[in-house]
Chain A
Amino acid sequence: MKNNLKEISVYIHLPFCERKCLYCAFTSFVSSDDVQKEYVKHLIKEIENFKDGYKAKTIYFGGGTPSVLRLDLLGKIFDALKNKFEIEKDAEITMEVNPNSVDEEKLGFYKRLGVNRLSMGIQSLNDKTLKKLGRLHTKKEALYELQLATKFFDNVSCDLILGLEKEKNVVKYARKLIKFGIKHISCYILEVHENTPLYSLVKNKKYQPLNDEAVAKSYEELRKFLEKQGFNQYEISNFSLLGFESKHNLAYWSYDDYVGFGLSSHSFLDGVRYENSSNLKDYYEGKRQSEAIINDKEIEERILLGLRCKNGIDLEKLKNLGYILEKNEFFMQFLEKNILKKVNNKVFLNPNYYAVSDFIIEHLLP
């Protein structure tokens, strides 16, 4: 029986924060004890109602700040997951944490539950910047917590945000973090979303993000630095030592099945994408949207996902879907200019053009 189980990646959304960062456009909020209990009740119900027949190859607790969740409630979620899924022996189980919300007790508890990977939201190591963005930790605290985390976990990843400060800083921070023995770095470019406090700060000229030119430069410098340190760029914004790629992340890029439980979370099952409501009341009522990824949509996604990571695009696969990329004039130009590389039937984006990948992908769509 168990041999027939289908592999799946599982995402759990925990939308709680001690305080919302000024740039954050994700679904999260500051919560009371009661809200947490109520939420976890519904979350567990959602897990229980999910269809049987899957084994989990990865589990990822994201947020919000999952480390804000009461430990007993986290334990209950784990129980529900174990009841629903067979969890593979070498399954990657990640917990997102913020430097200010963990301590030895929590880390020990995570470890006992089976968590084997920690993703820490460092973002910056400049106290002024951290304060400006509304982060609750200082550089000193962050490094202390990181030290602690690496005592408990071998596989630790750190998040950095590009575009906050002058170009050189990000490389400086990365160098510092690597000294702690972390295995993985994610770096994202600061996005100023409407409806965030940061948006009004920028509009009122109280905060000036780095210009495109400088951001591109800092991205390039970081890429080159990490490469020299043995960190392999397996996706546009993800770097790791060999063997420490995030399996969960790769599932997204590889068109694999995944299921997301919780407010506003996303699933991709048998070619259909689902999105849970981001309104708490609607989520409790089980409201979600779905969209079948067929025809052009599938072609578009395979191009979009393939070029963003080391997997590349499979030309044969596209051809079977009815799209011959070689007939796209831009495709031929990009090949000619070495922007795209073709190896057998696979096409990859030259990493030097990762920073302008949207432009390139957009030109290759059917």
Chain B
Amino acid sequence: MNDELKYIRNFCIIAHIDHGKSTLADRLIELTGTVSKREMQDQILDSMELEREKGITIKLAPTRLIYEYEGKEYTLNLIDTPGHVDFTYEVSRSLAACEGALLLVDASQGVEAQTLANTYLALDNNLETVPVINKIDLPSARVDEVKAEIEDVIGLDAHDCPCISAKEGTNVEDVLKAIIEKIPCPKGDENGKLKCLIFDSHYDNFKGAICLIRVFEGTVKKGDKILMMQTNKVFEVTEVGIFVPNTKEVNLLKAGDVGYLAGSIKTISDVKVGDTITSADNPISSPLAGYKEVQPVVFCGIFPVDGAKYGELKDSLDKLKLNDASLQFSPENSTALGYGFRCGFLGLLHLEIITERLEREFNLDIITTAPSVSYRVFKTNGDVLEISNPSNLPPQVEIDHIEEPMVKVNVFTPPDYVGAIMDLCQDKRGVYKNMTYLDKRRVELNYELPLGEIIYDFFDSLKSRTHGYASFDYEFFGYSPADLVRVDILLNGEKCDALSMIVHKDKAYTRGRELAERLKKIIPRQLFEVPIQACIGNKIIARETISALRKDVLAKCYGGDISRKRKLLEKQKEGKKKMRKIGSVEIPSEAFMSILKLNDEE
């Protein structure tokens, strides 16, 4: 083995959301002098505007830290990871590029649902997992108890783990020492045949697709001919480099290194995250184990507000897909909304992130329909359909039965809220499985729930019923038959396909009524009265009426001030652009998401 490898460590940080990953990353960067204090801004790795705003990490970002320890200079490659359950897939991608992981646990919150889920992921990837207790500066910190939790619940040795405050900078040096002492150095031969893993990619307007890579064997440099093993495409390398944390070109990347590679790759689909790169002249015989393809679980329609921007929307989705392999989309046509796409996501947060990125980074005005899951519809003629768009559900008479996706839900909660959570799960058609008292302060509850109920408002309800103290995690496990019906909405007698929803029969009346009431509040008055009806098949189950507009302002155009009036009308008209016409009724685009927010005003 090459001697230099001894001085490299590739690691990532995993944690439950809000336990302080990005802050720790900031401190590590600062402490190793990678970025000068002047350049330091909080959450330096969270470069996406959205990430900073929401205070979360969505995309993995790698950076190289140089640290001197016992007279030797070490290269530490840090790959930041997202913490939210929706992005488990991203986490597993970064794990495959590392030998070890720091498991960060909040000293007052203790072990949470995603702490556990992420630890299992790390263990599955054979990573050395080093626990770190963070936020010891909080008055509510209970370091010894949390150490015990880590040992009892997770089964990791925590007796001498670093106890730090990333915010205050306390004991952060201990983390660097633990990385060097506990995480193994990479193995691999720089004289071997080239073998790299693409763990992420993004598109640069000048350089083409940029591959973020971990080199396992061999070396790669400018001018090399490389082969993408899955897509079978050959490219000439135009640039290799590292992240410090901004990109910096280097001469060579070799076994053990983490960096990036560009090769004038113009076609986005030629780069597949999880693919193996090898030398075109001297290829290896079999690729690295890639990632399992992720299946989207939440779907919604995305339409351009301006129908002419369909092409732009498609290009934007293509570009987003480049570094978000989990995003899926296919063309869709709606009578209410025109041409757009049905998109699949890993979860609700993922959906929200993508739609916001489309609006901000690509400057698109879009309309999203309410999220749905994918149902299996068994027809009487023996056909089986996958339906993720409620309006594609065949007529009731042709359906033998419908199956809905189910998830296993783990909830971690203080014991006080067990009753409230059980009520919630019951209400969401959950099946109780198990309950374990982890210690005096923490209970783990296991339920099986329909995914459709989770995406509806489970997370918000859980948060409000437990005052934010409970955390949860879920995992898809299969399909189960259910008595489901489609509720349609008629506006002024015309069906609005984008407002249809598939719901359990027992809840159809309530949900239909709630949606009609909500639409009444959202849809502005028109010149005529507009009835809103919710129905199942031909049966009307709820009705509301928007009364006709009676007056708008008869402003005095005093002293000939016409401009003010004109500008007022222009502004109102601008708002109208976000409206869609269903028959002769104009409805604002946010109405299509309103199905989801039915319980807001309770």
Residues of A whose CB lies within 8 Å of any CB of B are 11, 13, 26, 62, 162, 188-189, 191, 212-213, 215-217, 219, 236-237, 251-252, 258, 260, 264-268, 273, 275, 291, 297, 300-301, 304-305, 308, 333, 337, 339, 353-363, 365
Known: A304-B565, A361-B569. A212 touches B550 (CB 8 A): yes
Residue B558 interfacial (CB < 8 Å): yes
Is A365's CB under 8 angstroms from B584's CB? no
Most chain A Cβ neighbours within 10 Å, of B555, B559, B565: B559
Known: A26-B558, A62-B558, A333-B584. A216 touches B573 (CB 8 A): no
- Residues in A with CB closer than 8 Å to B560 are 11, 251-252, 258, 260, 266-268
Residue B557 interfacial (CB < 8 Å): yes
Residue B556 interfacial (CB < 8 Å): yes
Nearest 4 A/B pairs, CB to CB? A358-B552, A216-B550, A216-B551, A355-B551
Q: What CA separation (Å) do A214 and B556 show in the bound complex?
A: 19
Q: What CA separation (Å) do A11 and B558 show in the bound complex?
A: 11
Known: A304-B565, A362-B569, A362-B573. A219 touches B554 (CB 8 A): yes
- Residues in B with CB closer than 8 Å to A337 are 527
Is A215's CB under 8 angstroms from B551's CB? yes
- Residues in B with CB closer than 8 Å to A191 are 553, 555
Is A13's CB under 8 angstroms from B559's CB? yes
Q: What CA separation (Å) do A268 and B563 show in the bound complex?
A: 10
Is A252's CB under 8 angstroms from B562's CB? yes
Q: What CA separation (Å) do A325 and B233 show in the bound complex?
A: 55
Most chain A Cβ neighbours within 10 Å, of B551, B552, B557: B551
Is A188's CB under 8 angstroms from B554's CB? yes
* Interface mask (B548-592 → A, CB under 8 Å = 1, otherwise 0): 011111111111111101100110110010000000100000000
Is B551's CB under 8 angstroms from A219's CB? yes
Is B570's CB under 8 angstroms from A300's CB? yes
Is A359's CB under 8 angstroms from B549's CB? yes
Q: What CA separation (Å) do A251 and B563 show in the bound complex?
A: 15
Interface magnitude class on chain B: 20 to 34
Q: What CA separation (Å) do A273 and B570 show in the bound complex?
A: 17
Most chain B Cβ neighbours within 10 Å, of A305, A337, A359: A359
Q: What CA separation (Å) do A360 and B549 show in the bound complex?
A: 11
Q: What CA separation (Å) do A337 and B526 show in the bound complex?
A: 13
Q: A215-B550, A268-B562, A300-B570 are in contact. List 17 more A-B contacts (CB 8 A).
A: A13-B559, A62-B559, A188-B555, A212-B550, A236-B554, A237-B554, A252-B560, A260-B559, A275-B561, A304-B569, A339-B527, A356-B552, A357-B554, A358-B569, A359-B552, A361-B569, A365-B570
Is B554's CB under 8 angstroms from A266's CB? no
Q: What CA separation (Å) do A13 and B561 show in the bound complex?
A: 13
Residues of B whose CB lies within 8 Å of any CB of A are 527, 549-563, 565-566, 569-570, 572-573, 576, 584
- Residues in B with CB closer than 8 Å to A357 are 552, 554
Least CB separation from B571: chain A residue: A362
What are 21 A-B contacts with C-beta separation under 8 Å?
A188-B555, A189-B554, A191-B555, A212-B550, A213-B550, A266-B559, A275-B563, A291-B563, A301-B562, A337-B527, A339-B527, A353-B527, A355-B554, A356-B550, A358-B552, A358-B569, A358-B572, A359-B552, A361-B569, A362-B569, A362-B572
Is B573's CB under 8 angstroms from A358's CB? no
Q: What CA separation (Å) do A301 and B549 show in the bound complex?
A: 23
Specify which of A26, A217, A300 is in contact with B569 (CB 8 Å cutoff). A300
- Residues in A with CB closer than 8 Å to B566 are 297, 300-301, 304
Specify which of B551, B556, B573 is in contact with A188 (CB 8 Å cutoff). B556
Q: What CA separation (Å) do A355 and B552 show in the bound complex?
A: 6
Most chain A Cβ neighbours within 10 Å, of B558, B565, B576: B558
A209 to chain B, nearest CB (A): 12
B567 to chain A, nearest CB (A): 10
- Residues in B with CB closer than 8 Å to A189 are 551, 553-554
- Residues in A with CB closer than 8 Å to B572 are 358, 362
Known: A216-B551, A300-B570. A273 touches B558 (CB 8 A): no
Q: What CA separation (Å) do A237 and B558 show in the bound complex?
A: 12
- Residues in B with CB closer than 8 Å to A260 are 559-560
Q: What CA separation (Å) do A363 and B576 show in the bound complex?
A: 9
B562 to chain A, nearest CB (A): 6
Q: What CA separation (Å) do A150 and B300 show in the bound complex?
A: 70
